[in-house]
Chain A
Amino acid sequence: MSHEKAQKTQNEVPTGNASKSSITDEELAEAMRSEREELEETWARPSGVWGWFTDTDHKAIAKRYIVTAFVFFLLGGIEAALMRIQLAFPESHFLNPDRYNQIFTTHGTTMMFLFAVPIMTAFGIYFVPLMVGARDVAFPRMNVYGYFVYLIGGLLLYAGFFLNTGPDAGWFAYVPLSGPAYSPGKRVDIWAQMITFTEISALVGAVIVIGTAFKMRAPGMSINRIPLFVWAQIVTAFMIIFAMPAVMLASSFLASDRLIDTHFFNPAEGGDAILYQHLFWFFGHPEVYIIFIPALGFISPIIITFARRKIFGYVPLVLSLISTGFIGFGLWVHHMFATPIPQMGESFFTAASMMIAIPSGVQIFCWIATLWGSKLNIKTPLLFVLGFFAIFVLGGLTGVMLASVPLNLQIHDTFFVVAHLHYVLIGGSVFPLFGAFYYWFPKWTGRMLSERAGHLNFWLMFIGFTLVFFPMHQLGLNGMPRRVYTYLPETGWGTLNLIASIGAFVLAAGVLVFIVNAVWALRAGVVAGDNPWGADSLEWSIPSPPPNYNFHNIPVVQGRYPIWQATADAPIVRGLNTKKRETLVTSVMDAQPELRFDIPGPSIWPLMVALATAVTFIAGIFTPWAFLVGAILAGITLTCWFFADPNYENKSARETGEKSEKVAPRVELQPKEV
């Protein structure tokens, strides 16, 4: 596709490698025809049940993540509906306190660990390779491992829940309540080990995203041309790397206090209940940004596409993402203002918690500046983005209120916080997520979702959400604490609770409309071409759904908006093997071609290692010896993984037998325009 600037001069296009050559159109067409068949065979996905367990295609894994996470979203939503039914009337007997406590714990745990983080990871796994012009992610087998570990963790939690031995100490499980003395049985152990699974999965996803985004970008995609979606994923991935270890320690210390009598949190032997809070929230606060920042990466491409102009403030937007990531690590104590920690430190955390509003504000202003004066096509994705503005901004403002220590001491641990957190998480993440569903559904499936149903979906969700959560601000100020299975009629909280409960069903109806829309569209939706929205980024330059190998020829990128800025005479990358899975590895800053990287094919070993991990941590709920046995199993399966031939399934790999060990000479790229 070209536009009025299509006649960019040759010297502003990155020129090639040590060997720059040219090819006639006829020769190219000839090569493409036979190559396409070879590529399809080389990148063919294995079929059948065995195939499902061994497939390494990043798009397949990502779609699995999305479906699984969405199922957990629905389960979490059902839990929420049950809670709202119970709270609709004072002294209701719909749920007994034990059941309610398991439900609110499972709701929070499901939404935070089994839905929000995995689905954001999934979008990264699907789109980062496509947006940067790669044929696969950097570590495909690790990707498979990450998915299975996540699935097993989720199944573990729900096995516990459905057997009436689900965790009931809240999604952050404070000690001593969650400790051995006050939470007997295996409920909390199930929670603690589930954390391990989901945390391993997230860490693995993060390593993959960074590896792909840093090293596998198409030539020409220098660091200042990386799409904002990919920037958001990169920042999130780094946050995961530095935050997850804290929750790993928190849950491991808790599990070992419970299982083998350590005393990390036992005040009688020098342990400390507040230590747990520090460890958990050092992870917990970045966690919410891990959920939120990818959604910011959805908003930019949607705005760019529907405003049909370049984004205003690319650099401030990138810097805002990065600074949000940094500052996000300095806020955690604001969850602990009511504890007897030294007051001097509290002011620092107030200041940091308020300061983080600045980069968020900058992003909002830049987005509004992009929308302003542009002719907007208000399709469903953009509608959800507008919903984000309305809801997230309000949530961010209540966040600034919560940042203030004195005010926090009134509204902490009340329904005001429940309102705030849902405003920022649903407004800040779920609304953009639904926008992303409508936006990218055509790319995944080749079909468009219905716009009319989309608008209905949006309004039901928006109105339902407001009915549920706006009254909760008032309830918190009126003295209603969190995590209460019921309340007395004299408190007067009945009316607002009833409104909230009614709203829950409106919200649920909205989600239902989405499901119906998706199911219908899969069969009868309008067929989408490569680029139904006329968007600018590379994923829209390949068919919908993409072929297994993504790109036949790795493109050369000529600007921040690759499709819009592509010239007819842009070079293409030639030379990647079609008989063996390969993609191009380039340098971090300038995307200089560096390696032809072998991509492993399907393999059973990631599943095996996942099962070894499962044995370790599930049996570890019952006995510490599980760790020894599990370690041995993991060692064996990992050995097989790393020493198995990565292209084993791919017989033709053995036929090529080429080895090239020369070092790539340094290539000078011409200065290029952004």
Chain B
Amino acid sequence: MIETTRTIPRFILTLVVALCVSSCGGIQNAINPAGPNAENISRLWWLMFIVCSIVFVLVMIAVLLSLRQRTTEAADRVPLLQPSEESERRRRNVVISLTTITVIVLFVFLIASYSSGRSLRLNDPTKNGLTIELTGHQWWWEVRYMDVDASNIFTTANEIHIPVGVPVMFSLRGADVIHSFWVPNLAGKKDLIPGKISTIWIQADKPGVYRGQCAEYCGLQHAKMALWVVAEPQEQFNAWRQNQTQEAVAAASDTQKRGQQVFFSSTCVMCHAINGTPAGSNIGPNLTHIGSRHMLGAATLVNTRDHLAQWIKDSQTFKPGNRMPQNNLSDADLQALVEYLQSLQ
């Protein structure tokens, strides 16, 4: 018994160190902040983590120290019903002091939490700022860039670009069930609730790709409802945005034209919109610029020709239960369609 009571702390310590070392970086990581919101929260996290670790260790030491005197005597030794006044008084003082310290620590946490919360609330964030309307669907993200000038409004899906160093306002809606928008490197999460509008502002201070994921169980494919937030310098962002407001690139080569034909004669056109063509359905993700997106299926697959072909043919193998039907197209048709879609940069 004596052995084990000393090996417990050693064991725990090793485990803790091993786990901490395992990953502190990453593109979907709350303690690898890339923006002021996440930075703010990360600071709060470290404060609480350090204080709580100290408290935990101290309590464990106290528990272990209280185990110093042990016995295996029979169960009929005389119980202590009248401990000495002095030992009881000592205990009382210790318990009162520890309780007081607990209250103080909690107060510190409360204040730290409150002030952290205050800085998360931006005053008047929409003035001259970028506003994005994000609608959560089962199981993809509809992204609509708003603008004062209506011709600059456009819709895309699953991949959000933002300029570095600028706060971006997100207006969140749930189309069907509750989803939650969470990009841990940049900010905490906010729920998208049908019938309500919620807002969150996000700012990236470093260029990069940040992965987010739906954080409220929303049904069968909740696990694969992710998104990318690409933070880029202002000029690059402007260029990207400019491109997104354009209508789809016209089909040029024969294969592309054939692909476009396939698009219109299959079930694709029932759900997907391609601006500048008759396809205008908004049941599924907007494909106007699908060729320039990095990922498919809400950040499930990398957007390559092969993957796109497999996805179109049978997306159910990658994301079973998603709303897109299988498409039994001939190889030639499929290749043409892929060619066409990849041309929509």
Residues of the B chain whose Cβ atoms lie less than 8 Å from the Cβ of A374: 66, 69, 80
Contact A361 B102 (CB under 8 A): yes
Q: Is the CB of B19 within 8 A of A404?
A: no
**Interface stretch among B44-52, B124-132, B259-267, B273-281?**
B44-52
B304 on the A face (CB < 8 A): no
**Are A485's CB and B223's CB within 8 A?**
yes
Q: Are A474 and B80 in contact (CB under 8 A)?
A: no
Please indicate the chain A residues that have their CB under 8 angstroms from the CB of B182 in the complex: 413, 479, 481
**CB within 8 Å for A376 and B193 given contacts A98-B220, A176-B176:** no
Which of B114-122, B241-249, B333-341 makes up part of the contact surface? B114-122
Bound complex: CA A465 to CA B112 (Å): 32
User: Smallest CB-CB separation from A268: which chain B residue?
Assistant: B195
Q: Is B178 part of the contact surface with A, judged by Cβ < 8 Å?
A: yes
Min CB distance B232 to A, Å, is 21
Known: A481-B214, A483-B222, A533-B75. A310 touches B83 (CB 8 A): yes
- Beta-carbon contact of B19 and A413 below 8 Å: no
Is B81 in the interface zone, CB < 8 Å from A? yes
Chain B residue numbers with a CB within 8 Å of A351 are: 110
Chain A CB within 8 A of B208 CB: no
Interface segment among A138-146, A280-288, A389-397, A581-589: the answer is A389-397
A28 to B60, CA, bound (A): 53
| A548 vs chain B, min Cβ distance (A) | 27
In the complex, B211 has a CB within 8 A of chain A: yes
Judge whether A479 and B30 touch: CB under 8 Å: yes
Instruction: Evaluate contact between A471 and B109: CB separation under 8 angstroms.
Output: no
Chain A nearest CB from B104 CB (Å) reads: 11
Does chain A have a CB within 8 A of B331? no
- Interface residues contributed by chain A, number (CB under 8 Å): 107
Report Cα–Cα, A339/B195, bound state, in Å.
12
Check: A82 CB closer than 8 A to any chain B CB: no
Q: Is B234 an interface residue (CB 8 A)?
A: no
* Pairwise interchain contact A177-B79, C-beta atoms closer than 8 A: no
Q: Which of B90-98, B162-170, B282-290 contacts A (4 or more CB under 8 A)?
A: B90-98
Check: B23 CB closer than 8 A to any chain A CB: yes
Asked whether A369 lies within 8 Å of B95 as measured between CB atoms, the reply is yes
Q: Does any Cβ of B come within 8 Å of A492's Cβ?
A: yes
Are A272 and B30 in contact (CB-based, < 8 A)?
Answer: no
Chain B interface size, under 10 / 10 to 19 / 20 to 34 / 35 or more:
35 or more
| Nearest B-chain residue to A383, judged by Cβ | B1
Q: Which residue of A lies closest to B193 (CB)?
A: A273
Q: Which residues of A contact B40 (CB under 8 A)?
A: 406
Interface set, chain A 517-574, CB cutoff 8 A to B = 531-534, 536, 559, 561, 564-565
Whether A81 is near chain B, meaning CB under 8 Å from some CB there, is no
Contact status A273-B194, CB under 8 Å = yes
Q: Which of B19-58 contact A (CB under 8 A)?
A: 19-20, 22-23, 26, 28-31, 38, 40-41, 44-45, 48-49, 52, 55-56
Do residues A410 and B219 form an inter-chain contact, with CB atoms below 8 A? no
Give the shortest distance, in Å, between A13 (CB) and chain B (any CB): 16
Q: Is B325 an interface residue (CB 8 A)?
A: no
Q: B63: nearest residue on chain A (CB-CB)?
A: A389
Least CB distance from B12 to A in Å reads 7
In the bound complex, how far is the Cα of B30 from the Cα of A405, in angstroms? 15
CB proximity of B301 to chain A, nearest CB, Å: 9
Using a CB-CB cutoff of 8 Å, which residues 1-56 of chain A contact chain B? 1, 3-5
Cβ-defined contact, B106 with A362, below 8 A: no
Question: Whole-angstrom distance from the CB of B307 to the nearest CB of chain A?
Answer: 13
A312-B88, A350-B113, A496-B22 are known contacts. Are A97 and B221 too (CB-CB below 8 A)?
yes
Binding site for A on B (CB under 8 A): 1, 4, 8, 11-12, 15-16, 19-20, 22-23, 26, 28-31, 38, 40-41, 44-45, 48-49, 52, 55-56, 59-60, 62-63, 65-67, 69-83, 87-88, 91-92, 94-95, 98-99, 102-103, 106, 109-110, 112-114, 116-117, 120-121, 138, 174, 176-178, 180, 182, 184, 187-191, 193-199, 211, 213-224, 300, 320-321
Q: A274-B196, A377-B71 given; name 20 further pairs at CB < 8 Å.
A: A174-B177, A174-B178, A177-B178, A272-B195, A308-B77, A308-B79, A312-B88, A313-B91, A361-B99, A369-B95, A374-B66, A374-B80, A378-B1, A393-B59, A409-B41, A413-B189, A478-B29, A478-B30, A479-B182, A484-B223
Q: List 19 A-B contacts (CB under 8 A).
A: A309-B83, A340-B198, A343-B117, A347-B117, A358-B103, A365-B95, A397-B52, A397-B55, A400-B48, A401-B48, A403-B113, A406-B116, A411-B30, A412-B189, A463-B11, A479-B211, A482-B215, A482-B217, A559-B81
Closest 4 CB pairs of A and B: A409-B188, A267-B195, A534-B75, A479-B28
